[in-house]
Amino acid sequence: MRRRLLLGTLVCLLFFSILLGVCFHKAWAATDGDDNGYSQISIFAKAVQLIRQDYVDGNKTSYHDLITAAMKGMLASLDPHSQFMDPDDFRDMQDDTRSRFNGLGIEVSMKTGLPTVVTAMEDTPAARAGILSGDQILKINGSSTERMDLQDAVNILRGPPGGKVTLTLLRPSTKEIKEYTLERVEIKVQSIKGTRLLDTELTGPHKIGYIRLIQFNEPTADDLSKALDELQKQGMQALILDLRNNPGGLLNSAVDVCAQFLPPNTKVVSTQGRVASQQREYSTSGAAKQRPNFPMAVLANEGSASGAEIVSGALKDLHRAILVGETTFGKGSVQNVMQLPDGSALRFTTAKYYTPSKQVIHGNGVTPNIRVPMSAEQERALFALRSAENLKPDEEKDMIKTRDPQMLRAIDALKGVMIYAQQNTAKGEAIKK
């Protein structure tokens, strides 16, 4: 009886498999022509069967391990930003958007085949050690990263607080190779830092506000609104928004940040993909608080990526701000995250971002209106300034004067705009008289 039941079950499974295969075959044949999905899946199934049957180490041939490895390879073959996430990886990604995770404070992406630092987040072990945007990770804990999957690299960088990780980095600008041993900590990323009016010794009679935006996560737009309210109460006449080393984050957050400076229903970014559903335009809502049209400069560099590039590109294209610094990272693609039944997820690229003037961000970055390069020494000094505790105002002012040419150039640009506006106002009043 048991044998008959087993045989019946196998026959049903076989029939179902054939039926499913025929459906897949018809569907793929209709959409992909000669790219026959059914025959390729048959080849894949045969490969899995042979590996399970004959591979020397049986501990490595569970269906779960083989299929997971195949999905990782499949996503990694598409582009550096597409990946398969197991349930733990998916939960880590969700924690990122909530502004907390355990790790070294490095945002990484694949570039020229190697994990590359997009930015070292301030107030983290990586920033304090002097790791910079563009540094290439050659080894992690002595193991070469040349054939390492991006998610595998990230999984080593992250982990329980207190664990130590040794990185061997190449700095392309100087060809210097250096080793760092860093300790993981719990990282809580604040959206907004450094809100203040700049010292009058730097700005003269003009009240220029300063806000540093660290990352685009869920509370960013609300935090920015509060910071702007505070500066306006202090009489702010112009603003410097610092997006240097901001790795991006949530798209909606970036759009909401733009809404703080642009009129309602203004298009700030669009996406173009392969299918109609990926042709989208993102505009500011009418709910954001309307503010004076004060002069504005945005600071950006190679470590400004994704959401930071959307904001930089929009404010530059729409002539709302002067962009000062260096060309941004060039990470302007849209990744959809689709959760699978077991709690894992696929993250894959579906479209690319375009600025309001239809400039593609991906691979190109956003170029500044005023280009001001910084040396590696100046960038390290800037990181030290941001990570220092109990820094006196005079020390900060001296550091800006001697180590932050981008900030100085932005201040000069805004002072020029305000002086020009005052002269025009005076001329207009004289004509009326």
Phi and psi angles of residue 344, each rounded to the nearest 5 degrees, phi first: -80, 180
DSSP string, 373-403: ---HHHHHHHHHHHH-SS--HHHHHHHHHHH
Mean pLDDT check: name the lowest of 118-127, 177-186, 198-207, 224-233: 118-127
By the 8 A CB rule, do 44 and 66 touch?
A: no
pLDDT, residue 396, reads 77
Q: Which domains does the chain have, with CATH numbers?
A: 100-188 (2.30.42.10), 192-424 (3.90.226.10)
User: Which residue, 199, 143, 205, is CA-closest to 168?
Assistant: 143
By the 8 A CB rule, do 356 and 267 touch?
A: yes
pLDDT, residue 12, reads 41
In Å, how far are 94, 118, 138, 215, 417 from 110, measured between CA atoms?
21, 9, 12, 20, 40
The token duo for 7 is 């045989």
pLDDT at 165 over 90: yes
Mean pLDDT check: name the lowest of 21-35, 182-196, 300-314: 21-35
The token duo for 346 is 């696929």
Average pLDDT on 105-121 reads 85
Average pLDDT on 183-205 reads 88
- pLDDT category of residue 109 using cuts at 50, 70 and 90: confident
Q: What is the reported pTM?
A: 0.73
pLDDT at 416 over 90: yes
The token duo for 313 is 């590109």
pLDDT, residue 9, reads 39
- pLDDT category of residue 29 using cuts at 50, 70 and 90: very low
In whole angstroms, give the CA distance from residue 127 to residue 380: 8
- pLDDT category of residue 13 using cuts at 50, 70 and 90: very low
* β-bridge mates for residue 212, sequence order: 193, 242
Residue positions counted in the chain: 433
pLDDT at 14 over 50: no
Interacting residues of 357 by C-beta distance below 8 A, sequence separation 6+: 317
Mean pLDDT check: name the lowest of 58-72, 107-121, 332-346, 388-402: 388-402
- The per-residue pLDDT for range 178-189, each reduced to its tens digit, is 999 999 998 777
pLDDT, residue 92, reads 72
Burial 160-185 (b: 16+ CB within 10 A, else e): eeeeebebbbbbeeeeeeeebebebb
Q: Which residues are catalytic?
A: 306, 317, 331
Which carries the bigger pLDDT value, residue 390 or residue 9?
390
Q: To the nearest whole number, what is the mean pLDDT of the chain?
A: 85
